Structure 1
Amino acid sequence: MQLHSMRDQITTSLRREAQRGGDLVEAELRDQRRTLTGDRDRRVTPGRDPALIERADLVQVSPGEGLGEHLGLGRISGRTRPPSSSQHGRCVEDLRRGHIQNLEATTDTFDEHRSRRRRQTGRVTDVFSEKLAAWRDYAETPWARIRYGVAGEVLRRQSELLGERIRILDVGGGDGRDALPLALAGHDVTILDPSAAWLDEASRRAATIGTKVTTIRGGLDDLPAGEWDLVLCHFVLRYRTGDDADVAALASLVRPGGRLSIMDVNPDGRVLRELLVGGPAAALAELQAERAMVETFQTDARKVTVDAVAREAVEAGTRPIGVYGNRIANDLLVDNTAKGDPAFFEDLLALELELCDREPFNRVGFAWQLIVER
């Protein structure tokens, strides 16, 4: 079987939004059954309709007629019924119709091809790099300054409890807006991020304010060895697959007695915000949605709750220190006009700092911040 004729045997059926899918697909090609193994990024089950698989980066077609000992590697997208079985949520079976794009013969094994891809900057990283200018604009808004002001105060308190000059690792630290104030306070800060553009931005910003940070290009799959006094992982887990091992891996980096700060968007807070901005129908849609849109980066992400992460952290051998809310009052104020007034902003920030660790306010903000101790 020639590669072009294999493509001709498969049709495409793509529509609607998608959520992250698994790694394994089994596909039926006409009268023959061949195994397609892919590192897919998306899957959705829209009501009663079949699920969709879109934009797999890696597809392995078992050697067969016309292919000799070669494997066909390409991209798969198509339509499948909801998964009948799973392996840690990553196996989708019984793909009935699909489409292979850019299929090419290769002697690489799937593992070799995937390993090479993991060393490269991924699609999510590309999204962030392309949106760096939009991020700069967002970071200057009053609500972004509230976000960093509150989180920064929480981190300042934690760092003071841990010592005068501590080692800090910021996983997914991007342009360093969380970590740079800690470096300016005299701590040894390392920023780990998969985007070279964002790390360059962090170094530039550090030089501008008269401090230094160490930057390492990599992600949660490339954690550096060693133990740290304080580890940050803010707004990263939402872009991951939901593997429980992520929190355990982060906890393993913390020295005994050290602390870990994990921060992400609060799904409950988004529902309340949608109620205020768009009304009950919008709030209901947000409540029922499996994923959430990230407007600044024009991508979607999974929903991560503080309770789920706290359970994983405890299972990893840490104990919770506190849960802090972020942008609590800010997101209840739909009219942003007054937030640009310096006096109003200072009052708003002061209120946020008073509310951030108080129940039940810390549960209804735009974001949550969990501090645990190893």
Structure 2
Amino acid sequence: MVVRIFGISIVVTVISLVVAYLYGGVEALILCAILGIFEVSLSFDNAVINATVLRRMSEFWQKMFLTIGILIAVFGMRLVFPLAVVWITAGLNPVKALDVALNPPADGGEFFPDGSPSYETALTAAHPQIASFGGMFLMMLFLNFIFSQREITWLSWLERPLGRAGKLDQLAVVVASISLIVAAEFLTDEANRSTVLLAGLLGIVTYIAVDGLGSMFEVDEDDIDEAAASSGGGPSQLAVVTGKAGFFLFLYLEVLDASFSFDGVIGAFAITSDPIIIALGLGFIGAMFVRSITIFLVRKGTLDDYVYLEHGAHWAIGALAVILLVSLKWHVNEIITGLIGVVLIAAAFISSLVRNKRLAPEADAEVEKSTPVS
């Protein structure tokens, strides 16, 4: 199963490295490999969260996520998105934006002789809007998780009180809004304050809209049985309901993936500003492996076996949301961002192992009790 899940990603990686070598020689090949590793290490928490959503989707929508979704991730977020940002913020037409990306200033500076900004400069200038939108979207995801009461908790001393506090309606929106106001007031200069507020508000609204639409069309097992019975056992009515739920969960996953991608796209410029190398490394190699890891977690039932992984991933998301807001004023090294996520998920995994070992004797006792004596 491992070969089947990761086989395509391995093939795509080899092809991408060959294309990078043909495009820019050994240096391009090395940069492409570094970016691929960088994306996977930065997005492992993304894979865990994706898996929690993907396992609730039908096989059809899972395939959509792996086909159409990967095209959006590779071409949309890792290639078109940076070009669109340069196009919009720098006032350049799409053709000029692509030319600027492929042909940086000859002197290595931030501006061309005509005064127009380089690709990296224009994208960096848009960082406040990107960080604010992505930070607030991810913060809403994190807050909605920790303000929900759950039977199983990881950091019980903290998660249980927060879950009880979540009984206050719309607490996540209140906390996120206050965080946005604080970030705009103390972490942003006056020139960008209104832009940060607007982008952050759009991030909150986007989360509420997409998550709400998905929840609206979700159905539990009782609803499924009732719908099937009322339609005479026919699948047509049920297919429409589950199709809508799958569609909105698909949209939710794509926006979520985009929010996770912001820091990776921006951070890639610390390695190279060549959009082709970025697309090959982050998109074809990194995004493909993140998708494969997601499918592996779903197919193996890893989240059921290691119950704290979901908790660790959400705490990593909360940390990433804070880092994005902090980056409005101070640069946070991408290695730190990636390590925080890896450490939190590793801690959750180890805690899950300890829990499973502790509960193993009880599970064995239950099996013996339920086994009939011959």
TM normalised by structure 1 equals 0.23
Decide which structure has greater strand share. 1
Q: Which has the higher contact order (CA 8 A, sep 6+)?
A: 2
TM normalised by structure 2 equals 0.23
Decide which structure has greater helix share. 2
